[in-house]
Structure 1
Amino acid sequence: MTDMSDVFLDAAIEAGKAIMSIYENGIDVSYKHDASPVTIADEKAEEIILGHLVSAFPDIPVVAEESVAAGRVPDIEGKAFFLVDPLDGTKEFINKREDFTVNIALIENGVPVSGIVYAPAKGVAYRTTGDGAEKLSLKDGRVAGAVAVSCRAAGQNLIAVASRSHNSPETEAFMKKIGVADFTSVGSSLKFCIVAEGLADVYPRFGRTMEWDTAAGDAVLRAAGGRTVGLNDKPLPYGKTRQAEDSDFANPFFVVWGS
């Protein structure tokens, strides 16, 4: 039987190599209809990831960011499916910062049950395991080490992590309301991983995101003992289509909590 976590890792590493080649040799930027930036790295990485997933799991549909933007949306009704963001944190990538990631997740019954977040410029990855979550260190495309990670119990002085590119007054107000003592700004889905690793207690997101932005990090976070909830305090669901108030796969505002 094919090990899904190994397929995720191999796909993420190969996509990361393609991304880093472009990162190091020049980035041409274009813009989608919603004015969000996209590069050849997004497209190449998605092509690589789809090749791995379709080859290993031909019966599981894949919802991937650039494919959806091009109008290619599979039928996921009542099915398990993959969510892929080939390059999360495109703005970080364009601006030559290191906190951009490759995100791959499996969704079952609206829940992210397996996933990997790989930050190729940092040489680290976070992924779900059979009984929790782990952080991998990578060198030259190979795993050099692994350590289990878990959310920490919150103390009196909460530490928050927030978006570098998409912070908002609502986020600032929420952090003040819950008594955040300090916070750091980070790009991409690494914010989920920082909470999963026990380096922060909360990540509030009062801004628009899509399911492929959050699924892999959310899978790691939940496996590490945390939770991601909407403003109704219910777990953030996945596979949201035919939404009256927003487009398919769009997320509501949410808050990530550690233990």
Structure 2
Amino acid sequence: MAPMGIRLSPLGVAVFCLLGVGVLYHLYSGVISNRLAAFRQRKNVELRDLLALSVEAAVLGGKEVKRVQEENGLQEKSKGKTREGANDPLTMGDLESHRKMYNIIRNTFPEITVNSEEHDNVVDKSLLWSRTIPSEMAEKIKDQNEVPAESVTVWIDPLDATQEYTESLLKYVTTMVCVAVDGKPVIGVIHQPFNDFTAWALVGHETNVHARSSYSITPPVVVISRSHSGHVNNYVHKAFGNSTTVVQAGGAGYKVLSLLDLHMGESMAQADLYIHITFIKKWDICAGDALLRALGGHMTTLKGEEIDYRDTPLNKGGLVASVGVDHKAVVEKLPPWDPEKH
């Protein structure tokens, strides 16, 4: 007897072929999907590129801040009150700067996390980094330093010292960008649009600013916030003595720059320490933290703890910033203080 076989009708052949193609498609698409996912996970970004982009973004935002002020188009309104009861203003300078800074960074590196002080629905896909590395930066930083994109968090302050901006105290105004990798600040940019000066640093590599030749903590000159100086004055004098000089200033970016050697004459205060005893947002302080780290300085909570620049934007531990002094000795002089209770 001849062996029995399976005979398919033309319709059966077609169905069988379609089933085979479907199985192959799903197997193939699964492989491609897994490979794409792995590729996305392995995506790296170059730190020198991020530094150049951060400078370009800060300068671009600064131009908007300056333009809005010169055109008298602030359109000031209030976002409410701060925890300390001070007015929290918002201007078109804040928004226009945010739109430029946020979009140019997001468009250039869409795979990284970007946090900005302001929030806005305006999307401008035309904004892209020029891919230009400034000559000074190219000369100082020649190494390739890649990090995983998923480890990067960028903090943007489109207009630091908004209150002073509305009062035409323009020397305090800055735009800032900070890049943190695994929560540690590695790139800091503080741009002064009304002085046309940009400070930048890549921690462990190079910076275009310098510490002064000498500092003192016996007693120090301490720079503090204009907006809630009463408690800080008492705190500082309790820590370092009644002969301590206290300088009031606006903007966290400006206060960090006051610790450095910038040769700007009377337009820039000079301080030995920067102390803040209430809550403060990370976009206010991350760039300054990176600049100080690049110079061997420190920015910590009042208890001496490092600040983690991931997740929540709120730093609840206050801060003390220094360069050129024994930071641990400074922290040990500080009286106990709980920012959450004040």
Alignment TM class, shorter chain as reference: 0.7 to 0.9
Alignment of 1:25-104 (within 5 A): 25-26=71-72, 27-34=74-81, 36-67=88-119, 79-98=151-170, 99-104=172-177
Contact kept in structure 1, 2:80 and 2:89, CA below 8 Å: no
Where do 5+ consecutive residues of structure 2 fail to align? 1-45, 82-86, 122-149, 263-269, 325-342
Alignment of 1:216-255 (within 5 A): 216-241=287-312, 248-255=313-320
* Partner residue in 2 for 1:168: 230
* Partner residue in 2 for 1:144: none
* Partner residue in 2 for 1:206: 277
Aligned to 1:122, what secondary structure does the other structure show? coil
Question: Structure 1 residue 90: deviation in Å?
Answer: 0.2
Contact kept in structure 2, 1:168 and 1:206, CA below 8 Å: no
**Aligned equivalents of 1:54 and 1:258: distance in 2?**
33
Report which of the two has the higher share of strand. 1
* Partner residue in 2 for 1:22: 68
Question: Structure 1 residue 30: deviation in Å?
Answer: 1.0
Aligned to 2:309, what secondary structure does the other structure show? coil
* Superposition RMSD in Å: 2.3
Cα distance change, pair 200–177 in 1 and its aligned pair in 2 (3 A): same
Which sits farther off after the overlay, 46-55 or 156-165?
156-165
Whether 1:191 aligns to 2:255 is yes
Question: Structure 1 residue 157: deviation in Å?
Answer: 3.7
Q: Which amino acid aligns with 1:94?
A: T
**Aligned equivalents of 1:159 and 1:84: distance in 2?**
29
How far does the alpha carbon of each residue in 1:196-240 deviate from its partner, in whole angstroms, 9 at most, with x for none?
438421111012211111111111122122111112211222225
Match of 1:159 among 206, 213, 221: 221
**Aligned equivalents of 2:260 and 2:289: distance in 1?**
9
TM-score by length of 1: 0.81
**Aligned equivalents of 1:168 and 1:62: distance in 2?**
34
TM-score by length of 2: 0.62
* Partner residue in 2 for 1:150: 211
Where do 5+ consecutive residues of structure 1 fail to align? 71-77, 135-147, 242-247
**Aligned equivalents of 1:170 and 1:12: distance in 2?**
30
Report which of the two has the higher share of helix. 2
Which sits farther off after the overlay, 227-236 or 90-99?
227-236
Identity of paired residues, percent? 24
* Partner residue in 1 for 2:16: none
Match of 2:205 among 124, 131, 143: 131
Contact kept in structure 2, 1:238 and 1:249, CA below 8 Å: no
**Aligned equivalents of 1:249 and 1:48: distance in 2?**
24
